[in-house]
Amino acid sequence: MKQEIKSSKRVTFIFYVIMILIPILLIVGTEIVLRITNYGYNSDAFIQVAPGFLGSNPNYGKKFFKQVKRVPNTINDVFTLKKQKNAFRVFVIGGSSAAGFPYMPLGSFSRYIRQRLELSFPKSKIEVVNLGLTAVNSYTLLDLVPSIIEQKPDLILVYAGHNEYYGALGVGSLERTSRSRTLIKFMIWLEDFKIFQLVRNLMSSAFEMLSDKPEATGTLMSRMAESKQIEFGGDVFNAGIEQFNENMSELIEIVQQAKIPILISTLASNLAGQEPFIPQKINKKTTAISLFNSAQKELSKGNTATADSLFRLAKDYDMLRFRAPELINQSIRKLAKIYNIPLVEAEKELTQNSKLGIIGNDLMDDHLHPNLKGYQLIGKAFYDKMEEVNYLPKSPKFVFDDKNPHQFIVKNYHFTEFDSIISAMKVKMLKNDWPFIDPKNKIDRYLLLQPKNKIDSLAFKFVEAQDDWEGIQRQAANYYLRKGEFQKYAEILNVLIWQFPIIQSYYRFAIENLVLAKQYDLAYDFAIRKYSIAPDKVSAKWCGIINLNRGNNDLAIKYLTKNIELDGNDEQVYYNLAGAYVRKQDLENASLFVDKAVLINPKYQQAILMKRQLDTFKKMKDVRKNKTNSTRSW
The pLDDT tens digits of the residues spanning 526-576 come to: 999 999 989 999 999 999 999 999 999 999 999 999 999 998 889 999 999
Across the range 613-624, mean pLDDT stands at 73
In a domain, 514, yes or no: yes
Q: How many domains, in total, are found in the chain? A: 4
CB 149 within 8 A of CB 254: yes
Q: What is the DSSP string of 235-297?
A: HHHHHHHHHHHHHHHHHHHHHHHTT--EEEE------SS---SSBPB-SSS-BHHHHHHHHHH
Across the range 465-481, mean pLDDT stands at 92
- H or E segment at 94? strand 87-94
CB 395 within 8 A of CB 125: no
Last residue of one domain, picked from the residues 489, 518, 544: 489
Taking 50 as the threshold, does the pLDDT of residue 633 lie above it?
A: no
d(CA 478, CA 489): 7
Highest mean pLDDT among 190-199, 207-216, 296-305, 581-590: 296-305
Could you tell me if 223 and 80 lie in one domain?
yes
Could you tell me if 310 and 255 lie in one domain?
no
d(CA 230, CA 280): 9
CB 125 within 8 A of CB 397: no
Across the range 419-441, mean pLDDT stands at 92
CB 416 within 8 A of CB 488: yes
Provide the 8-state DSSP code for 53.
Answer: E
pLDDT at residue 616, as a whole number: 85
Last residue of one domain, picked from the residues 367, 392, 413: 413
- Rounded (5°) CA angle 541-51-103: 85
Q: How far is CA 479 from the centre of its chain?
A: 25
3-class secondary structure, 103: coil
**In percent, how much of the chain has pLDDT > 70?**
91
pLDDT at residue 91, as a whole number: 98
CB 380 within 8 A of CB 387: no
pLDDT at residue 101, as a whole number: 96
Highest mean pLDDT among 75-84, 185-194, 196-205: 75-84
Could you tell me if 210 and 303 lie in one domain?
no
Classify strands 343-344 and 262-265 as parallel, antiparallel or unpaired. Answer: parallel
- Least reliable range by pLDDT among 52-61, 208-217, 589-598: 208-217
Across the range 210-234, mean pLDDT stands at 72
Could you tell me if 477 and 562 lie in one domain?
no
d(CA 625, CA 587): 16
Could you tell me if 553 and 451 lie in one domain?
no
How many CA atoms does the CB half-sphere of 9 hold within 13 Å? 6
pLDDT at residue 35, as a whole number: 79
- Least reliable range by pLDDT among 9-18, 164-173, 322-331: 9-18
Domain range for 311 is 279-317
pLDDT at residue 634, as a whole number: 37
pLDDT at residue 15, as a whole number: 61
In a domain, 255, yes or no: yes
How many CA atoms does the CB half-sphere of 173 hold within 13 Å? 28
Across the range 46-63, mean pLDDT stands at 93
Could you tell me if 88 and 109 lie in one domain?
yes
The pLDDT tens digits of the residues spanning 597-615 come to: 999 999 999 999 998 988 8
The pLDDT tens digits of the residues spanning 353-401 come to: 999 999 999 999 999 999 999 999 999 999 999 999 999 999 998 877 6
In a domain, 192, yes or no: yes
pLDDT at residue 6, as a whole number: 55
Provide the 8-state DSSP code for 170.
Answer: -
Instruction: Give the sheet arrangement for strand 46-50, strand by strand.
Output: 46-50, 53-56, 78-80
The percent helix, strand, coil of the chain (3-state, each to 5) is 60, 5, 35
What average pLDDT does the structure give for the chain?
90
d(CA 395, CA 455): 42
Q: At how many degrees (to 10) do helices 235-257 and 138-150 cross?
A: 10
Instruction: Give the sheet arrangement for strand 343-344, strand by strand.
Output: 125-130, 87-94, 155-159, 262-265, 343-344
In a domain, 67, yes or no: yes
Last residue of one domain, picked from the residues 433, 464, 489: 489
Taking 80 as the threshold, does the pLDDT of residue 216 lie above it?
A: no
The pLDDT tens digits of the residues spanning 11-31 come to: 566 766 776 777 777 777 777
Could you tell me if 311 and 384 lie in one domain?
no
Using CA atoms, how far residue 236 sits from 14, 170, 175, 230, 248, in Å, is: 51, 10, 15, 6, 18
Domain CATH number, residue 384? 3.40.50.1110
Could you tell me if 264 and 125 lie in one domain?
yes
Could you tell me if 460 and 590 lie in one domain?
no
Task: Choose among 152, 336, 164, 346: nearest CA to 262.
Answer: 336
Task: Choose among 95, 262, 236, 237: nearest CA to 168.
Answer: 95
In a domain, 577, yes or no: yes
Torsion, CA 628, CA 630, CA 632, CA 634, rounded to 10: -150
pLDDT at residue 547, as a whole number: 96
In a domain, 632, yes or no: yes
Q: How confident is the model at residue 286 (pLDDT cuts 50, 70, 90)?
A: very high
Could you tell me if 561 and 421 lie in one domain?
no
Across the range 148-169, mean pLDDT stands at 96
Q: How far apart are the first and last CA of the chain?
A: 139
Q: How confident is the model at residue 221 (pLDDT cuts 50, 70, 90)?
A: low
Domain CATH number, residue 532? 1.25.40.10
93 CB burial (10 A radius; 0-12, 13-18, 19+): buried
Across the range 610-621, mean pLDDT stands at 81
Classify strands 125-130 and 87-94 as parallel, antiparallel or unpaired. Answer: parallel
- Rounded (5°) CA angle 139-140-143: 90
Could you tell me if 382 and 482 lie in one domain?
no
Across the range 51-70, mean pLDDT stands at 89
Q: What is the DSSP string of 157-168?
A: EEE--TTTTTST
In a domain, 4, yes or no: no
Buried b (16+ CB within 10 A) or exposed e, 302-340: eeeeebbebbbbbbbbbbbbbbbbebbbebbeebbeeee
The answer for residues whose C-beta is within 8 angstroms of residue 318's C-beta and 6 or more apart is: 276, 277, 278, 279, 280, 288
In a domain, 311, yes or no: yes
Could you tell me if 443 and 401 lie in one domain?
no
Q: At how many degrees (to 10) do helices 346-353 and 372-388 cross?
A: 130
